Amino acid sequence: MWAAEAITRLDEEKARAGVTPLCEFPLPASWGVRLWFKDESTQPTGSLKHRLARALFADAIAAGRIVAGTTVVDATGGSMAIAQAYFARLLGLPYIAVMPTKSPGEGVEQLGGTCLHVDPPLAIYEHAARLARDVGGHYLDHYRSAATVGWRGGSLADELFEQVVECPHWIVVGAGTGATAAALGRRLRTDGLSGQLAVVDPENSAYFPGWVYGAPDYGTGMPSRIEGIGRPRMEPGFAADLVDLVIPVRDAASVAAARRVRQVTGSSVGPATGTNLWGALELITRMRAQGVRGEVVTLIGDAHPRHLRACHDDDWAESKGFDWRPHEEKLARLLEVNDADGR
Ligand SMILES: Cc1ncc(COP(=O)(O)O)c(C=O)c1O
């Protein structure tokens, strides 16, 4: 009975969450290219991780790995930990997020979850697995599970292809687990669509070199500084064969572009949304050089007030060594609105 009721609650929550909007990011009209952001920050917990967290709970409940009273554990911070804490509370389950000492645990405790800080950062996985075993709980292991949880039902890809008027020339996303990119890539393939999929990748991440060298086991061993995307190793959910291009993006450029998104939309987006914008603009520049017109779609991956004290804050950015100003100037020059464009 508990499992059936829990799945009903998840379904009801999904219906309440509804469809996230597709919003235009203004570009000079003369470019002949339109850029759209699917705004995942409008999810109830403010990020695209909300969808994956819901799917992970549903999957584990259906498989009998989460039952009434199971302590749910994962190795994660930021938006994923917040989304998981939200679903644990919805289902009345104890929740523990094991995260690196410097990771933002904010939001998890407000939702009734517990944060356990562990060092060094890459020890969180082993620690979370052991903790789940010790308390007889369930380790969600979202990086591994993301490769197998259902990607069709109500996914971001389903919504996006309902919303667009024509198939985008490029779809641009970052990769954390790789689940979002894989869902979009599968959809392009199975529907026989002409659009191409680009993954934007921050410094230190394994996805760019791993994709270039065709090395599924590639690892850098270095954590990404762009919350939500970039990994020290190629994750099993990253479907390299479905990706047409991986674009490396400098972290300082991601910070500058996230600020630009905030200037335009007013939303306190995280740095990964900046990575998305930077990569999308690189592709749009190529399209313009080739005389190609069309649409490009990317994501606002998350927005949260904590980002105001991080990538949108000059002192923070300086203290972390991000030299974002030259990138900010480059963006301003590129997007300079010419009166004749009428925008
Ligand atoms: C903020 C943010 N987090 C995560 C992702 C990707 O997440 P995943 O690969 O786990 O689906 C994106 C994709 O653009 C993003 O913008």
Note the pLDDT tens digit of each residue in 28-58: 999 999 999 999 999 999 999 999 999 999 9
Residue 35 backbone zone (phi > 0: left; psi -120 to 50: alpha; other: beta) = beta
Which strands make up the sheet holding 33-39, listed edge to edge? 22-25, 33-39, 294-300, 170-174, 196-201, 245-248
Mean of the per-residue pLDDT values of the chain: 94
160 — phi, psi (to 5°)? -60, -45
| pLDDT class of 151 with cuts at 50, 70, 90 | low
Q: Rounded to whole angstroms, how far apart are CA atoms 81 and 117?
A: 13
Largest CA distance in the chain: 66
Residue given tokens 């199971």 in the structure block: 70
Cβ-Cβ contacts under 8 Å for 157 (sequence gap 6 or more): 151, 183, 184, 186, 187
State the fold for domain 2-47+152-335: Rossmann fold (3.40.50)
277 lines ligand 1 (CB under 6 A): no
pTM over 0.75? The answer is yes
276 lines ligand 1 (CB under 6 A): yes
How many CB atoms lie under 10 A from the CB of residue 265? 17
CATH fold match for the domains 2-47+152-335 and 49-145: yes
Q: Which of 43, 74, 229 for mutating ligand 1's site (highest number of atoms within 8 Å of CB)?
A: 229
Q: Rounded to whole angstroms, how far apart are CA atoms 254 and 260?
A: 10
Contact 323, 317 (CB under 8 A): no
Q: What is the mean pLDDT of residues 203-230?
A: 94
Pairing of strands 170-174, 22-25: unpaired
Q: What is the mean pLDDT of residues 60-89?
A: 96
261 lines ligand 1 (CB under 6 A): no
180 lines ligand 1 (CB under 6 A): yes
Model confidence pLDDT, tens digit, residues 230-274:
999 999 999 999 999 999 999 999 999 999 999 999 999 999 999
**Every domain of the chain and the residues it spans:** 2-47+152-335, 49-145
Predicted confidence at residue 105, as pLDDT, reads: 79
Model confidence pLDDT, tens digit, residues 131-142:
999 999 999 999
| pLDDT class of 343 with cuts at 50, 70, 90 | very low
Token reading at 324:
């974002």
How many angstroms does the Cα of residue 170 sit away from the middle of ligand 1?
17
Model confidence pLDDT, tens digit, residues 177-215:
999 999 999 999 999 999 999 999 999 999 999 999 999
How many angstroms does the Cα of residue 78 sit away from the middle of ligand 1?
12
Round to the nearest angstrom and report the end-to-end CA distance of the chain.
57
How many angstroms does the Cα of residue 79 sit away from the middle of ligand 1?
10
Please state the atom number of ligand 1 nearest to the C-alpha of residue 237. 9
| 163 pLDDT above the threshold of 80 | yes
179 lines ligand 1 (CB under 6 A): yes
How many angstroms does the Cα of residue 80 sit away from the middle of ligand 1?
10
Residue given tokens 């993006």 in the structure block: 249
DSSP collapsed to 3 states, 173-238? EECCCCHHHHHHHHHHHHCCCCCEEEEEECCCCCHHHHHHHCCCCCECCCCCCCCCCCCCECCCCC
228 lines ligand 1 (CB under 6 A): yes
| 150 pLDDT above the threshold of 70 | no
State the fold for domain 49-145: Rossmann fold (3.40.50)
302 lines ligand 1 (CB under 6 A): yes
Cβ-Cβ contacts under 8 Å for 18 (sequence gap 6 or more): none
Please state the atom number of ligand 1 nearest to the C-alpha of residue 175. 9
220 lines ligand 1 (CB under 6 A): no
How many angstroms does the Cα of residue 218 sit away from the middle of ligand 1?
20
